[in-house]
């Protein structure tokens, strides 16, 4: 029954620290902030795209992310002909994480992988990202980033997520969810 058509399939995107000590000569290594230990370390961010049906998880694609700022790089940065495999590997490594995520999803879709949703954490959940994922024919499931600068349309008004949360208080014992409301992002993009 694991191949039943009624099962919901999803892509899962996550990034984690890929620490590299003693790496002064490793190309594109940079100073990355480790949110677990709350300190800077040398290494990369490893972005992984996986597929799940709720029972099984399969890694589909991934890439190492470096910094696009030359001041953050520790290791050397060599230049290659843009047609070479080396140059093609370095291009996504120096993209922003949100752009790299979209490239991983597009590559997976072009290879024939299908999903109904994309799951990710609040690190990637900004309105532009949600609209771009919707443009790929996928819906997003994510915790919205708490920011006073980002506004969502709720009940005909442009409000920050903190304001929406304060308006929609969860009633004790009434719901198993903390909060779930429909908001509009961009022009007619309901999430």
Average pLDDT on 104-119 reads: 93
Tell me whether residue 39 is exposed, middle or buried, using C-beta atoms within 10 angstroms of its C-beta: 0 to 12, 13 to 18, 19 or more.
exposed
Report the distance separating Cα 129 and Cα 151, nearest Å: 14
- Is a pLDDT exceeding 90 seen at residue 69? no
- Map out the domains of the chain as residue ranges: 10-144, 146-191
The answer to whether the predicted template modeling score (pTM) of the entire model surpasses 0.95 is no
Lowest mean pLDDT among 44-53, 81-90, 171-180: 171-180
CATH code at 10-144: 3.30.420
166: tokens are 């304060």
| Res 16: pLDDT | 79
Tell me how crowded residue 14 is: count the other CB atoms within 10 A of its CB: 16
Of 186, 171, 172, 95, the residue nearest 140 (C-alpha) = 186
Tell me what the mean pLDDT of segment 155-163 comes to: 87
Residue with the larger pLDDT of the pair 117 and 98: 117
Measure CA 189 to chain center.
19
Per-residue confidence band for 188, with pLDDT thresholds at 50, 70 and 90? low
Amino acid 160: pLDDT: 87
Separate counts of helices (H) and strands (E) for the chain = 4, 10
The Cα 78–Cα 86 span in angstroms is: 10
- Beta-carbon contacts of residue 125 (< 8 Å; ≥ 6 apart): 140, 142, 143, 144, 145
């Amino acid at each position: 029954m694991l191949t039943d058509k009624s099962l919901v399939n999803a892509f899962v995107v996550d990034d984690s620290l890929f620490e590299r000590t003693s790496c002064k000569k490793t190309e594109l290594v940079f100073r990355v902030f480790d949110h677990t230990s709350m300190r800077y370390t040398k290494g990369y961010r490893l972005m992984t795209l996986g597929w799940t049906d709720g029972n099984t998880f399969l890694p589909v694609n991934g890439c190492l992310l470096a910094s696009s700022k030359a001041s953050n790089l520790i290791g050397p940065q060599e230049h290659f002909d843009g047609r070479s495999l080396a140059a093609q590997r370095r291009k996504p490594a120096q993209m922003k994480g949100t752009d790299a995520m979209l490239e991983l999803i597009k590559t997976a879709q072009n290879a024939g992988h299908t999903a109904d949703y994309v799951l990710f954490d609040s690190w990637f959940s900004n309105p532009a990202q949600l609209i771009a994922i919707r443009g790929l024919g996928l819906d997003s499931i994510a915790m919205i980033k708490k920011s006073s600068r980002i506004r969502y349309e709720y009940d005909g008004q442009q409000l920050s997520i903190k304001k929406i949360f304060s308006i929609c208080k969860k009633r004790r014992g009434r719901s198993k969810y903390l909060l779930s409301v429909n908001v509009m992002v961009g022009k007619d993009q309901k999430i």
